[in-house]
Amino acid sequence: MTAADLTPDEYATFYHGYVSLVPPAITLRSALDDSAAGLSEYLNELADGREEYAYAPGKWTIKQAVQHLIDTERIMAARALRLGRHDATPLPGFDQDSYAAVADLRHREFPRMVAELETIRKTTVSLFNGFTDEDLRFRGTVSGGPMSCRALGFIICGHGYHHLNVFRERY
């Protein structure tokens, strides 16, 4: 299954930007691996102290963006678990800026954050490996819009690609 196999009614229009960043010919598993590898390579090569850099006033530092990636992947994977288990309960959205505002990163060591992000992706891969085709096609409601389990997988990948692009272009 590739992102090209998704139909427009499997996710809200808001997520199209993320899905469109996933190379159309690669499978979900390959996309999960590829997007994680790109992030890991970039983040592990940062010079000490660079993680505190923000490209403009009011923008997140690299460290804050990594915490955002950690939080978002956890939330998206939890949503995928619920859809993959055929839970039709509407799932709420979350406010990424509120999460960032209360995340006190002063005590967090950047290399440990990167390792945490890598570990979370490994558990996300394991989660998706456990789903059947029927599980992956299950649809529910997320943030007030339609969502399939498999679309969430591609959104997770696209979100990683998005931030990697931002890191490379602006940081």
pLDDT at position 47 is: 83
pLDDT by residue, tens only, the chain of 171 residues: 999 999 999 999 999 999 999 999 999 999 999 999 999 999 999 988 899 999 999 999 999 999 999 999 999 999 999 999 999 999 999 999 999 999 999 999 999 999 999 999 999 999 999 999 999 999 999 999 999 999 999 999 999 999 999 999 999
pLDDT at position 118 is: 98
Q: In CATH, which superfamily holds the domain spanning 3-170?
A: dinb family like domain (1.20.120.450)
> How far apart, in whole angstroms, are the C-alpha atoms of residue 70 and residue 27?
23
The full DSSP string for 36-95 is HHHHHHHHHTPPTTGGG--SSTTSPPHHHHHHHHHHHHHHHHHHHHHHHTT--S-B----
Write out the two tokens for 158.
Answer: 């696209």
Q: Provide long-range contacts, Cβ within 8 A and 24+ apart, for 147-151.
A: 147/10, 147/11, 147/12, 147/79, 147/83, 147/91, 148/6, 148/10, 148/11, 148/83, 149/80, 149/83, 149/84, 150/1, 150/5, 150/6, 150/10, 150/28, 151/6, 151/10, 151/11, 151/15, 151/19
pLDDT at position 48 is: 87
